[in-house]
Structure 1
Amino acid sequence: MNTKEKIRHEALTLFSTKGYDSISVRDIARAVGIKESSLYNHFKNKQDIFDDILREYATRGEEFFNQMNVTGEDKKFVVDDRTVDMYKNMSNEAFELMCAPIFEFYFVDEINVKLRRMLTMEQYRSPEIAKIYRDVSFNESLEFQSHLFHALIASGNFIECDPYALALAFFSPIFLIFYKFDNDAASLDEARSLFLRHVRHFNTVYGKKPEDA
């Protein structure tokens, strides 16, 4: 980890626990173990550090969804034949395996946990940050999932229902688990078990199996 990465890392830790306004450039430099003047060799000011963290958040999200095979070349969510085929006729076990990385990304990844906490606090400081928080945490996922469910319903792989309501039914318990177990590392296994129990139940209730056709 180079000096710029250390600055970003320590700033994220401080912003996610004490809030942006409570932290100074001097606090960040002290946490990194460098002089305050040295920090300015890498960033113009505290806002520049914060903006760099936000760019990192977007980049990590793009990389994750690329790995999940749900984004196209333009990095936007897509629902095509490839995506539908990936979800078709999934067993509960296969559905759990596919959803498991979502838990690890949002619950276990230290950087993403801190980023979520930081944005949760800072959304009240700026309308722009609030929009980023809503888009990344809720809107983009619900938009993609509703398009996906629309395609899966049309292809006969999910029961007939409102696709956006179905997306809400999928994500709402996940969001609740996020907040129920946030900042409770000792209960991580319980959170993971509850998460997998939810996705298994969801696929059982809403997904059509070949014998249902």
Structure 2
Amino acid sequence: MIKSEFLKHRRRAAVERIARAHLTSMDGTMADAVGQCNRQRLVWLGLLAMPLLFPVALPGMASVVGAFCLLIAFGLCNGEPVRLPGWLANREINGRATMLLKGMINRAINIIALVGRPRMLSLSNKPARVLNGLVLSAAGLSMMVPVPIISFDNVLPALAIVLISWGLRLRDGLMLLVGYLVTLAAVASVILLWWGGTLAATELLSMAGLTSSR
């Protein structure tokens, strides 16, 4: 029991140290904050995706996180970090996102430290980097694709990004597996929402007499 509590406290301290080290550099542009190392960028990606887990309005945040996610995914597949494009590198981090992150960081650290630990290491080893990059890119694309009618459609992609980012950073294969499943659910939800939105739009146009029926 004492050993279990000690390990839990140790994991929490490690996750807290990683998260707070990144939050201290959050004021400024993306280029100033995220650095050039894939491990450092993964933590940033996980942190920036956290506010999108909640149905709050953060204009442009989903596009930024999605684009950043795709760059990191490409870097994972390529084995080297990708240089940020100018439009993303010079963008200042959303002030509201900063406030939300600082407010939720303690709860997030408690949850991640409770469940995250090194296990199933084969899923976070170098041979699996292409798989992780592809899954991460799917999560990023599902976040960037605009969905008709539905307002809060970023929760599943954001959860997938958080799980995969922290899973890779902490080498937690179980967290990665859950992230894979959530990514599949996010992609499926985007497809279903587009299909449903298209059917609804077609029906509305038909009711308004703007489409011809055969």
TM-score using structure 2 length:
0.30
- Bigger-Rg structure (1/2): 1
Question: Which gives a bigger RCO, structure 1 or 2 (Cα 8 Å, sep 6+)?
Answer: 2
